[in-house]
Amino acid sequence: MSKGNSTKITDELYAYMLAHNPPLDAVQRGLVTTTYDRLPDHAGMQSAEEQAPLLAFLVRLVNARHVVEVGTFTGFSALAMAQALPADGTLIACDISEEWTAYGKEAWAKAGVADRVDLRIAPALDTLRAMPAEPHIDFAYLDADKENYVAYWEELVPRMRAGGLIAADNVLLHGRVVDPGAGGAAAAGIRAFNEHVAADARMDSVMLTVADGLTLARKR
């Protein structure tokens, strides 16, 4: 098996890549800093810096007006996507923590996009199942508890419009997906999810080595 023109991402190369991407704005940068300062033990849950411009790019690419995020944490990814939405667009942000999402609410207000974010504090499966059953979602970002990825997928896919896009984060799980010694519910959940997505005839999907692994899937 050949990896082709594989490039090792050094710190210098990572910095170069960031320098050639759209930079974080002041509110985005402030939220990243706040997350690491105030929640150092959990800050690794935040989407990688390069994912913010990527998510914004994808939202614009599919002309999204209706976005769903499963797993919001402190709201960094939601901020980037909300900023990319048109003024009448809506992002439904699903999370169970009022404490963590409070940082996001403050940042969304600072950025002037609070009216585009519909934060729903509840188990995400309950929130998804309460949504209209017909296809209406343009873009969805999945970055929550790995054990429920397949369940989230099964609620999202029927609600995606044709051509709609799902982005799923952490599909490599820091390499644990190919480590036979890596047990636990998270590893099992991601392995099951990756197999499930690859076999789903309703979607076209690709897995990319972006950050901790990102799968993009388009509704046929």
- Angstrom CA distances, 207 to 163, 166, 204, 211, stand at 17, 12, 11, 12
Q: How far apart are CA 66 and CA 149, in angstroms?
A: 20
Report the predicted TM-score, pTM, of the whole model to 2 decimal places.
0.95
Q: In this predicted model, what pLDDT tens digit does every residue of 191-201 receive, in sequence order? A: 999 999 999 99
Q: In this predicted model, what pLDDT tens digit does every residue of 163-193 receive, in sequence order? A: 999 999 999 999 999 998 888 999 999 999 9
The mean pLDDT of the chain is 96
Q: Which CATH superfamily is domain 11-219 in?
A: Vaccinia Virus protein VP39 (3.40.50.150)
| Statement: residue 5 has pLDDT above 80 | no
pLDDT of residue 1: 60
- Portion of the chain with pLDDT greater than 90, in percent: 94
Q: Where are the domains of the chain?
A: 11-219
